[in-house]
A and B are shown apart, each in its own frame.
Chain A
Amino acid sequence: MNRKLLSLPFIFWSAMFVIVPLCMVFYYGLTDKSGAFTFDNILAIATVEHSKALWEALKLSVISTVICLLLAYPLAMILCNMNVNQNSFLVLIFILPMWMNFLLRTLAWQTLLEKTGVINSILSALHLPSLNIINTPYAIVLGMVYNFLPFMVLPLYNVLVKIDKNVINAAYDLGANGAQTFFRIIFPLSLPGMFSGITMVFVPALTTFVISKILGGSKILLIGNVIEQEFTQTGNWNLGSGLSIVLMLFIIFNMVISVITDKEGEANTL
């Protein structure tokens, strides 16, 4: 049997649901309402409102990515050093929230953080000062970190667990201390997973519009919100597509970096 036949469903899928929609985004992004070719929709990113929204989104997504990385790295190392039974349980705990709908989890955070929400009710019952981060950028970053943390932990765990223990033991044998072993052996070997994790957190964080809507009270306009609004509220598909193309450039830039550093494709075995 011809093996190539097996790839047909995949080719059909990619063509229908990736290539065709992408072409349509480019078609709408590069034309105006009458269908004439134009760069206006892409250049529209230069207006004060749009560039500010893009800047806000970049800022918040970079902060979230860094926090995710700082939280996920030690965690992934702890997971690697555990015995098999314990760590599969812990990994399960980490994946468990992903079995629930993303929107529900974000709405749950709203209920937790609200002025009359769960956290503040407990705090006031204990006569502690209330926590006022709902509808601020802090709540958006919290939502991003919470929702995307597993995407950082898993690729990191995947590369760390594959590092040959003998390599580490050899480093100790040759006189390296703990810090030297980490910075010269473990850290460089974990880079592919790290970049893969960064991409998987940064991209959804950069494009999100739901988190800023639910936890940010729509008070902070991110580029994702601008694009969403063009489609749902103002019906300007051309501008929405043009801005999406700009956003794609940032994502491609991020992916290029991660592909260069992930030559062996180790982190992609997730």
Chain B
Amino acid sequence: MKKFIALLLCGIFTATALTGCGSSSSAGENGEVIVYNWGEYIDPETLTMFEEETGIKVVYDEFETNEIMYPKVEAGSSAYDVVCPSDYMVQKMIENDLIQELDYDKIPNAKENIGAQYYEQAAAYDPGNKYCVPYCWGTVGIIYNKTMVDTPPTKWADLWDEKYADNILMMDSIKDSFMVALKKNGFSSNSLDESELQIATNDLIAQKPLVQAYVVDQVRDKMIGGEAAIGVMFSGDAIYVIGENPDLDYVIPEEGTNVWIDGWVIPKNAPNKENAEKFIDFMCRPDVALKNFEYITYGTPNTAARELIEDEDLKNSPIAFPDLTQYNNLETFLYLGEDGEELFNKYWKEVMSN
């Protein structure tokens, strides 16, 4: 039945496309590649470069969350050649047989330039690195305004400090908020233990009166504007906001945190597999990876690209490229199965409706 709905949708879309403008898709001389990536997650110039060098037209589409992306790829009504999901979502796509194994001979730059330690980290969700080439990676930490705190925060528990009442920004994201609460109590962020989740839930509920707002992208503007003293943030955003407001600083909490990786995968139903490989290979080229890093400021796993960074401070930035061996309890999100996801959702709703 689900297939039928998908087909129906497919029919409607093609019908509207046909009535709309006939055949408007003018593919490049060497065909096209359909890319599905996070919003604001690439330097658009690299796409033009790719088109010019290869003669392959890039059809570019963006998503906001992994969960919005997944059903579209699953339904198959709009086939993509390259998608950029996060760690646990890659695992889910592997388990549900939606993506295909990569042929590393066709993407030599990925083999050559991506650091071994990142492949190692990625193996947690993609054993043997068969499916996913890391594109960006980073940590989740605490961003704080030096002028608004007495002592710099060092641990997640500082987000429960009453002196920051109404000055705390949390993430409006199930996984990341629970990661904070679970890590604060020394549990795994992939915990499925109901008693541990219950403790985390109670903590989040207890924290709620102190929280100013649960935000996603707005955290950047709010921290830059001095609206809040302390908040949860991705490392890539941290580099950007510190550049805008030097009063801000970023710390990886001592209880440990989430190390996330977003990477390129090729769906099973990709219509232009060869072009997809060329695209991934191009994105792994050091100069291209550098361009993207400078544009989006999220840490690149491309060690060759990192060598090319001219700004020494940025090259050795502990925010963009933290030495992971210094920290304990770093974890990557894993796919917890449908039941596991539902458990998290249930507890998150409890937090939100309280």
For B8, B211, B227, B352, which residue has the most chain A Cβ atoms within 10 angstroms? B352
Write out the residue numbers on chain B whose beta carbons fall within 8 Å of the beta carbon of A48: 353
Interface flag for B173 (CB, 8 Å): yes
| Pair count A-B, CB < 8 A | 72
- B228 vs chain A, min Cβ distance (A): 8
A141 within 8 A of B: no
Nearest Cβ in chain B — how far from A216, in angstroms? 8
Q: Are A35 and B2 within 8 A (Cβ)?
A: yes
The answer for the CA separation of A24 and B350 in the assembled complex, in Å, is 28
Contact across chains for A53 and B353 when beta carbons are under 8 A apart: yes
Looking across the interface, which residue of chain B has its beta carbon closest to that of A28?
B5
Q: Does A204 contact B (CB under 8 A)?
A: no
Kindly state the separation between the CA atoms of A221 and B71 in the bound complex, as whole angstroms: 25
A83-133 at interface with B (beta carbon < 8 Å)? 110, 114-116
Cross-chain contact B214 with A218 (CB below 8 angstroms) = yes
Q: What are the residues of chain B within 8 A of A27 when measuring CB–CB?
A: 5
Q: Does A11 contact B (CB under 8 A)?
A: no
Assembly CA distance A134 to B338 (angstroms):
36
Q: How many residues of B contact A (CB 8 A)?
A: 34
Q: Are A233 and B67 in contact (CB-based, < 8 A)?
A: yes
With A16-B16, A232-B68, A237-B71 as known contacts, state yes or no: A49 contacts B5, CB within 8 Å: no
Q: Is A208 positioned at the interface, with any CB of B under 8 Å from its CB?
A: no
A74 at the interface (CB under 8 A from B): no
Q: Which of A16, A52, A219 is the most central at the interface, judged by chain B CB atoms within 10 Å of its CB? A: A219
Most B-side CB within 10 Å, residue of A27, A33, A115 = A115
- Give residues 339-354 of B contacting A (CB, 8 Å): 341-342, 345, 349-350, 352-353
CB pair B215 A233 closer than 8 Å: no
Taking a contact as CB atoms under 8 Å apart, the answer to whether A20 and B215 are in contact is no
Q: Would B213 and A218 count as touching, CB distance under 8 A?
A: yes
Tally of contact residues, A, Cβ under 8 A = 32
In the assembled complex, the CB of B349 is this many whole angstroms from the nearest CB of chain A, namely 4
Q: Are A226 and B349 in contact (CB under 8 A)?
A: yes
Q: Which of A48, A49, A226, A233 counts the most chain B CB atoms within 10 A? A: A233
Shortest CB–CB separation between residue A111 and chain B, in angstroms?
A: 9
Within 8 A of B (CB), among A233-263: 233-237
Q: Is the CB of A235 within 8 A of B71?
A: yes
Cβ-based interface call for B164 (8 A): no
Q: Is A73 part of the binding interface, using a Cβ–Cβ cutoff of 8 Å?
A: no
Known contacts A48-B353, A116-B226; A235/B16 CB under 8 A: no
- In the bound complex, what is the Cα–Cα distance between A70 and B349 (angstroms)? 35
B211 → chain A closest CB, angstroms: 7
Complex Cα gap A239–B117 (Å): 40
Q: List 7 A-B contacts (CB under 8 A).
A: A20-B8, A33-B338, A217-B211, A217-B212, A217-B213, A219-B208, A234-B67
